[in-house]
Homo-oligomer: A and B are copies of this chain.
């Protein structure tokens, strides 16, 4: 059985939970509190030398890290990952966008507000992350003008990856009112079979 080390309120961990549920796979969940430095203990660092969550244990001693690589592993052979060479690469393109442009802005802003309680010394960084986050959201809104999902008009792990932190962007101070297509897409994802909420 798969074992995930993570925190369901982390978008990167929630992605994995959502896909596992939607694939109908059994798993154990080991809760890791990063604020209590549980991802920096010697035992955890043996599991993942990067000291980060989520971690997927596939079998004893077989471990996979990086949320989007975990999604790819779990989705292979399912409808959540296209077989077509170009569509497959397009899914990955949005997942790299998510980790490089979206996560460091949208997710980091939420971390400062929700987890660090918005300390004054982080205010300048927060404002820059909010500005960069709106740029990332504008790219998504533009792409969704003529599409229902990010790639090939089908729900895929690209949508799951981008949904994870977008659907809680308001917790970082983002106002999605003007992002009409993003809001429709968020609602569409919630109607997918076996969808579960972050706190479910």
A93 CB to nearest B CB, Å: 4
- The answer to whether A64 and B86 touch (CB under 8 A), given A92-B72, A92-B92, is yes
Q: What are the 9 tightest A-B residue pairs by CB atom distance, in nearest-first order?
A: A69-B93, A73-B89, A66-B96, A66-B93, A69-B92, A99-B100, A69-B89, A72-B89, A68-B96
Using a CB–CB distance below 8 Å, which chain A residues touch chain B? 49-50, 58, 62, 64-70, 72-73, 76-77, 85-86, 88-90, 92-93, 95-97, 99-101, 103-104, 139, 142-143
A85→B97 CA distance, assembly (Å): 23
A15 CB to nearest B CB, Å: 12
- The answer to whether A69 and B90 touch (CB under 8 A), given A103-B100, A104-B104, is yes
Chain B residue numbers with a CB within 8 Å of A93 are 64-66, 69
Of the candidates B50, B58, B85, B96, the one whose C-beta lies within 8 Å of that of A99 is B96
A97→B77 CA distance, assembly (Å): 24
- The answer to whether A89 and B101 touch (CB under 8 A), given A49-B139, A139-B50, is no
> B142, A49: Cβ atoms under 8 Å?
yes
